[in-house]
Each structure stands twice: as structure tokens, then as C-alpha cells.
Chain A
Amino acid sequence: MIRFFERLQSIDRRVVFLFVAICVVLPFLFPFRLPVAVGRSTRGLFDEIEGLPEGSIVMLAGDYSPDGMPELQPMTLAVYRHCFSRNLRVISVCLWPEGPPLVEAAHQQVAAEYGKEYGVDYVNLGYTTGGPNAMVEMGTSIPGLFPRDFYLTPVEELPLMRKISNFADIAFLVSISAGTPGTREWVQQVQSRFDVPMGAGVTAVSAPNFYPYMESGQLLGLLGGMAGAAEYEILIEQPGTAARGMDAQSAVHLLIILFVVLGNISYLLSRRRESEA
């Protein structure tokens, strides 16, 4: 037995990879359908959007690239679904160059489900450079910074944009972000300066950074990684890819914990043998 644990110290990493692959694939083929519990921070975002009066304008900042899609795209889809189901209007902006096509794909998918019209119910303003400077400039004039939308249509031709001047016309801001510029900059430059109510969705690995903003009330809700997206999907009663992915995530987390425990048992055994020798 001791020898078995000692051998584990030098296990080939491809064996670890194989176990991870099995834990990712199997739950998709044979789902366990584990119940998803909704956390306080997820419910915070849901309650804020749920409480907005019909017709309010929500700004969604899609600051991510394709590598963050598995975690963040389900959040974007879920937030759009929630907004459109409540007849809220959505304008999207991106400070990451790869963001606009991802946001547009989500727009089109959800708008078709709810029969929403581009330019009237939602607008994709596309990408701008400038990061934090651009954020602050939106406080002066959003059409000034985005004279044309993602399709290069002048924004004055879009009925929804005629109602928007600056952040004073935005009822709620949702930042879906995978890094910089992203949620941190939106909080620092926009929420605190223009007092815009705000929530966010971020990758699991960066979520711990944003809890201070939740506690200070600068963020009214926070979705952390695929788990946060799954919780939101459950709240809007439309389980999607994130909720389906939670079985695989549960299995991989358990596997990593098992590996860590096994690795430590073999480490402690080898250390004891060394001290005895």
C-alpha cells in the first residue's frame, strides 16, 4: 500500500489528463442533473434587473474574447433573456476588439426568441479603443463616442439611440468581463463617478477580486464563472449550457480534490520514510 502511494508521486501527467477528460466528457453523455443552489451575489443581479421598470435601458459591456466564452457567453445570453423577457431595452458596448461579434451572436439568438427588433429594442454599438478614457467619455456623450453602431449605421438613425445621451439615461449597467479593461474599470470610472447602478459577470478565476465591490455596494450583483451563469439560468427558469456544464465542473472539482489528497498522502509517506532513514 505504501509503495502504491509512493509510486503515485511519479505518476505520468498524461494519466491525470485522461482522468480529467473522462470527468469532463462523461457527465455530458450521462448527466446527473445535480440541483444548482443560487448564491446571494447572483440573486442580487437578478433582483436588480427584475426590479427595473418596463422600457428601461440596460447597458451591457461585453469585454471578453472567445477564450472566456464558455464561462461568459452563457451569462450574456441569460442577461439578454432576462432583459427581453421583461421588455427592457439593451445597448451593448465593447472595449475588447473581439467582443462585438460575440455580443452580436448572443443578441441575434435571444432577439429571435423574443421577437425583438434591432435599433428599437436593442443596439450593438461595437468596439471602441480608449479603455477607461472611453468609459469616462461615455459620461459626456455615448453617441459622441459611438457615432456608428456595429453595422456602421449612424446612431441617429436608430430609434433607441435617440433616447440616449449619456449615463443619465442608463438604468442599469452590466459588465461581463474577462480582464482589463473590464469590471474593475467600469466600477472605478463609471459606477463611482456617475453613480450608475451596476452588476457584473466575471470569470471564476477573477471573481474573488470583486467581492470588496459587492460588500461596498458598488456592485449590486455578481456572477462568478460558469457556476454564476448556471445560477442565473436557474433564476430565469431557462437552464442552458452553463447549467448543463455544472455536472462536469462538479466531477472535475471532485477529481482535483482527490488528486490533491492522494498527492499529499504520498508526499507525507515519503517524508516520513526520509526522516526514518
Chain B
Amino acid sequence: MRREIPLIITFVAGFVQLVDFFVPHPLVANAASELRQWSVIVIAASIVLGIGNLLRIHLFERIPRRTAGWPYSIVLLAGMFAMMITGLVWGVGEGTPFNYLFRHLKVHLDMTMFALLAFFIASAAYRAFRVRNWEATLLLLAAVIVMLGRVPLGSLLTRGLPTALQLPVVTEWIMNVPNMIGFRGIMMGAAMGVMAMGLRIILGIERAYLGGE
């Protein structure tokens, strides 16, 4: 029964959502809506599980065993509890300690991490973007056109050329034709894969999500 019950729940939940898409009857719509609300609650509850898991790994394993980088575990837990306590005690609105910590600490730390990307991209592009074959040359050419065409400089550099040859116009064409064709193909392939996988899960053929085996 340990495997059958989850399989039955999965089948019912998936099947009702599927039927709801095609059958606009209040009975089906209400059942599907109820299940969706349950799913929101279950996902919210999983956040508590996540906190429990973090505590288990960091408080009861990494810190007591002094594994490599264990001081970072203290920072992680201190940050988590600081945000939790300030949020629970004073709320999360404007002017609260939670909001102050979020706006003046979290925002700037996150933005700093993301800003470093520009430096690494520049370095990586310099070292790795090589014209090793004609495909790489084509990619490089497209990248140069799009990089210039997406910024005002591209427009400025090609202002005197016929409209069809101006970098923003060529960039728009690259994005709307070759790029879109490629992405549309990938999306359609992925969608079919998702449909097949969804059916396999609903019908109980795919059971990897149950763990084990």
C-alpha cells in the first residue's frame, strides 16, 4: 500500500486537472479548483520541510563535525533566523526590521553577485570564443551583431547605411527568424516530452518521483 496510495493520489490529481481543461462543467471545475488549492498548501508546507532539512544538515551535521566551510553554516543559519524572527515579530511591510535587512543587505549582496557575471563573461568570451570551425564563426558573427545591435552604439555606428543593413534591424531579424525557429523547435520537442512524461506519471508508468527502485 505504501506505493499504491501515492500512485492513486497522483492519478486522481492529474486526471482531474486534465479533465478540467476539456470539460467546462462546474462539478469538474470545483474539484480541480479544490485540488489546486490543496497543492498550494502542500507546496507551502514543503517550505517547512526545507527549513527542517537545512537545520538537520547544518546544525546537526556540518557544525558539530566541523566539516570544511562550517563557519558558513553559522552565517546561513544566523541569516535565516534573523529574517524569520524579524518577519514573524514585526511583519514584512515598509519600515519594519525585516524590510530594512532585505533592502539594505539582501538586495545589495544579490546584486553584487549578479554584477560579477559581466566580468566573468568578458573573461570567458576572450578565452573561449574561438573561430575553430565555420559553425563557431557563424555563432561569433551573430553574437557580435546582436551585442552591438541591442545597444545604442550599434544604431549610431550604422546610422548612415540603408535601413535593412543597420545593426538594430539585422539584430531584430536574427532574433525573429533564425533564433525563433530554433527556439520554437526546441519548445515543441520539449512540450511533447512533457506531455509524454505527464501521461506516464499520471498512469503510474513513471515512478521515479516515489524514490527507491
Q: List residues of A whose CB falls within 8 A of some B CB.
A: 11, 13, 16-17, 19-21, 24, 34-37, 39-40, 65-70, 98, 100-102, 104-105, 108, 128-131, 133-134, 136-137, 140-141, 144-145, 150-152, 193, 204, 207-209, 211-212, 214-215, 224-225, 227, 246-247, 249-257, 259-260, 262-264, 267-268
**Which residues of the partner chain A approach B147 to less than 8 Å between Cβ atoms?**
253, 256-257
Q: Tell me how many residues of B have a C-beta within 8 Å of chain A.
A: 57
Known: A16-B122, A150-B93, A253-B147. A101 touches B99 (CB 8 A): yes
Any chain A CB within 8 A of the CB of B184? Answer: yes
Any chain A CB within 8 A of the CB of B153? Answer: yes
CA of A66 to CA of B111 in the docked complex: distance in angstroms? 6
CA of A137 to CA of B43 in the docked complex: distance in angstroms? 14
CB distance from A40 to the nearest CB of B (A): 7
DSSP majority for the A interface? helix
* A and B contact pairs by CB, cutoff 8 A, 27 listed: A17-B122, A21-B119, A34-B153, A36-B152, A37-B155, A68-B114, A69-B107, A70-B115, A98-B106, A128-B40, A129-B44, A137-B36, A137-B40, A212-B183, A214-B176, A227-B151, A252-B122, A256-B122, A256-B147, A257-B147, A259-B122, A259-B126, A263-B126, A263-B127, A264-B131, A264-B140, A268-B131
CA of A267 to CA of B110 in the docked complex: distance in angstroms? 36
CB distance from B131 to the nearest CB of A (A): 5
Q: List residues of B whose CB falls within 8 A of some A CB.
A: 21, 29, 33, 36-37, 39-40, 43-44, 47, 91-94, 99, 102-103, 106-111, 113-115, 118-119, 121-123, 125-127, 129-131, 140, 143-144, 147-148, 150-153, 155-156, 168, 172, 175-176, 179-180, 183-184, 187
